[in-house]
Amino acid sequence: MRELIGPYRASLALGRRRSIMVNIVILVAIAGAIAWTTYRPLRQQRGFLAVLQSGRITQENFFNFAPGVSCFGGEFGPPGFGPGFGPEPGPSDTATPSPGETTTPTSGEPTCQFIGPDGTPIGAPFIGDPFGREGFSQETIDEIRPLLIEGQETLIGRMERDLAPMRVLETRIRALGTFLGIGFMVLLGATFFGAEFRWGVWPTLLTHEPRRGRVLATKLAGLWTLVLFGFLLSLAAVTGVDAIMRTLDGVSATGGPSVTRLAEQAGWALLSLEMYATMAASLALIVRTSLAGVASLVIALGDHLAVQTYRWLRHFLPTQQIASLLPMPMGVTSGYAWFPQITAGITCKAPATPGGFEICTEVRFTPPPHWRASLIVAAWAIGFAMLAWAALRSRDVPQS
pLDDT exceeds cutoff 80 at 122? no
Number of domains in the chain: 2
Taking residues 327-349, report their average pLDDT.
86
Considering the entire predicted model, what is its pTM? 0.75
Check residues 333 and 2 and name the one with the higher pLDDT: 333
Q: Is residue 123 part of a domain?
A: yes
CB neighbour burial string for 179-211, b if at least 16 within 10 angstroms, e if fewer: bbbbbbbbbbbbbbbbbbbeeebbbebbeeeee
As a whole number of angstroms, the distance between CA 161 and CA 215 comes to 50
Check residues 135 and 94 and name the one with the higher pLDDT: 135
State whether 57 and 151 are in the same domain: yes
Condensed to tens digits (0 to 9), the pLDDT of residues 9-42 reads: 554 444 456 667 777 788 888 888 888 888 888 8
State whether 310 and 183 are in the same domain: yes
3-state DSSP assignment of residue 346: strand
Q: Is residue 82 part of a domain?
A: no
Phi, psi of 317 (to 5 degrees): -85, 150
Q: Is residue 352 part of a domain?
A: no
Phi, psi of 335 (to 5 degrees): 90, -20
355: region left, alpha or beta (phi > 0 left; psi from -120 to 50 alpha): left
Based on the number of CB atoms within 10 Å of its own CB, is 397 exposed (0-12), middle (13-18) or buried (19 or more)?
A: middle
Q: Which domain covers residue 175, as residue numbers?
A: 2-37+165-336+370-394
C-beta of residue 106 within 8 angstroms of C-beta of residue 89 = yes
State whether 208 and 190 are in the same domain: yes
Taking residues 279-284, report their average pLDDT.
91
Condensed to tens digits (0 to 9), the pLDDT of residues 227-267 reads: 999 899 889 988 988 999 899 888 888 888 999 999 999 99
Q: Is residue 150 part of a domain?
A: yes
pLDDT exceeds cutoff 60 at 8? no
As a whole number of angstroms, the distance between CA 171 and CA 338 comes to 13
Q: Is residue 196 part of a domain?
A: yes
Q: Is residue 346 part of a domain?
A: no
DSSP string, 103-145: -----SS-EEEEE-TTS-EEEEEEES-GGGSTT--HHHHHHHH
Q: Is residue 28 part of a domain?
A: yes
State whether 330 and 213 are in the same domain: yes
